[in-house]
Amino acid sequence: MVNWYSECSPLERRTFWASFGGWGLDALDVQMFSLAIPALITAFGISKADAGLLGSVTLFFGAFGGWLGGALGDRFGRVRALQITVACFALATFACAFAASYPQLLVLKAIQGIGFGAEWACGAVLMAEIIRAEHRGKALGAVQSAWAVGWGAAVLLSALVFTYAPADIAWRILFAVGLIPALLILYIRRGLKEPPRAASRAAEPPFFATLGGIFHRDVLRSTLIGGLFGIGAHGGYAALTTFLPTYLREVRHLSVLGSSAYLAVIIVAFFCGCVASGIISDRIGRRANVTLFAAACVVTVLVYIFAPLSNSQMLVLGFPLGFFSAGIPASMAALFSELYPAGVRGTGVGFCYNFGRIVSAAFPFLVAISAITSALGLRSGSTRRLPIRWCWSRC
């Protein structure tokens, strides 16, 4: 990783850190929600199904935001669109701290979803167009690893806030911290330049024509296959990351330290998997890389589902589980960006990556519904499969 970075120009490095920072701060804002679920259930007197709906709404509107954000980048420029989308998710997360009711929080989570879905599309395409082709996979894999950094920061911040602040205001403090990403806008404005455009602005299509351009017959096949790939990559990941902290505490009865250990293993593994996937994809190709990681992920998940694992064994297996599952989404930005011409590249990347979220948006809600009648895991001595594992198996 260090070798390719040392060969980058100053502009490539600035673009990398802007994209890395944006995606990492996205993760910080989004993952704070999963860690605050127990407090939100108490604060608003809602059920687990209601909490799951909050996660589902964020994912659903994130899918729409990815499509919209990519189209904004195609029409008005990558850098300008990146600034707008960072401001959107930062302000929405901050506003969540002042939500006075469950419906208010639901609306704000939808706006947050639009922002973080759009930000990824803008940052990924900007990075793909600035970085040289021989390093594109490594650079975009490293950008994807920023999710693990933001996720880890959310875990540490959550532990700190809930330790020293009363639970009824701790979750509000967490969401208020979501304003921090807005500072990234200053860096973006000063340090980044627009990549060369393939056509003059006078020749650019209207905005709504750009939105639908990915369904033109010349690129329709890429859009259909990319959308299906997005579904496969996102399938059960949303359910796992939303309810994993709650599952570890309520079903496995782990302490905060034990629960944090499980999350730490998966987070570190996710980071390593993203970086490794980027390196491998540049060497063996995007499709071969996806096939390799998908096959390894299936084997690992089957062991995780059917093997009678102790807590210690679950901890050990968490690393390959996180490593291999990370390699698939880490390949997506480079793969999708190479399928489309510049005029609709942002729209295509945003749509394909986020289309899977429309389907996966239902998973947190379905897991919570299942938990009402069958608990969020296996009761002692039971051999029935976990609802949360059922969703993970669909990954």
Q: Provide the pLDDT for residue 287.
A: 85
Tokens representing 304 are: 């995780």
77 located within any domain: yes
d(Cα 135, Cα 109) in Å, to the nearest integer? Answer: 35
Q: pLDDT over 70 for what percent of the chain?
A: 77
pLDDT at 276 over 70: yes
Residue 301 domain-assigned?
no
Residue 346's pLDDT band (boundaries 50, 70, 90)?
confident
- Is there a domain that residue 341 lies in? yes
Identify the CA nearest to 376 among candidates 238, 239, 235. Answer: 239
pLDDT tier, 371 (very low <50, low <70, confident <90, very high otherwise) = low
> How confident is the prediction for the chain on average, in pLDDT?
78
Q: What per-residue confidence (pLDDT) applies to 256? A: 45
Model pLDDT, residue 332: 83
pLDDT at 388: 37
CB environment 47-58: b (16+ within 10 A), e (fewer): ebbbbbbbbbbb
Residue 284 domain-assigned? no
**Which residues are CB-neighbours of 191 under 8 A, at least 6 positions away?**
14, 18
Res. 66: pLDDT tops 90: no
What confidence tier does 381 reach under pLDDT thresholds 50, 70, 90? very low
Task: Indicate the pLDDT class of residue 250, thresholds 50, 70 and 90.
Answer: low
CA-based end-to-end distance of the chain: 28
- Give the residue-averaged pLDDT of 207-221: 73
Judged against a pLDDT cut of 50, whether residue 322 lies above it is answered with: yes
Q: Whole-angstrom Cα distance, residue 9 to residue 241?
A: 36
Asked if the structure places residue 175 within a domain, the reply is: yes
Lowest mean per-residue pLDDT among 26-30, 65-69, 293-297? 26-30
Report, as an integer, the average pLDDT of 184-207: 65
* pLDDT, greater one: 71 or 196: 71
The answer to whether the CB of 375 falls within 8 A of the CB of 284 is no
Structural domain of residue 55, as residue ranges? 10-190+206-241+332-380
Range in 173-187, 320-334, 359-373 with the lowest mean pLDDT: 359-373
Output the pLDDT for position 33.
82
Query: Is 176 inside any structural domain?
Result: yes
pLDDT, residue 95, reads: 92
d(CA 34, CA 40): 10
Instruction: Answer whether 65's CB lies under 8 Å from 354's CB.
Output: yes
Q: Which of the pair, 257 or 335, is modelled with greater confidence?
A: 335
Q: Which of 83-92, 227-236, 257-266 has the lowest mean pLDDT?
A: 257-266
* CATH code at position 166: 1.20.1250.20
In a domain, 389, yes or no: no
Counting the structural domains of the chain, the total is 1
What confidence category does residue 238 fall into, taking pLDDT thresholds of 50, 70 and 90?
low
For 90-132, the pLDDT digits (tens) are 899 899 999 999 999 999 999 988 988 888 888 888 888 888 8
Share of the chain above pLDDT 90, in %: 10
Once rounded to an integer, what is the mean pLDDT over residues 37-46? 88
Contact predicate 331/137, CB 8 Å = yes
- pTM to 2 decimal places: 0.75
For residue 64, pLDDT over 80 is answered with: yes
**Whole-number pLDDT of residue 394:** 37
Report yes or no: 39 and 60 within 8 Å, Cβ to Cβ.
Answer: no
Mean pLDDT of 40-46: 89
Q: Is residue 360 part of a domain?
A: yes
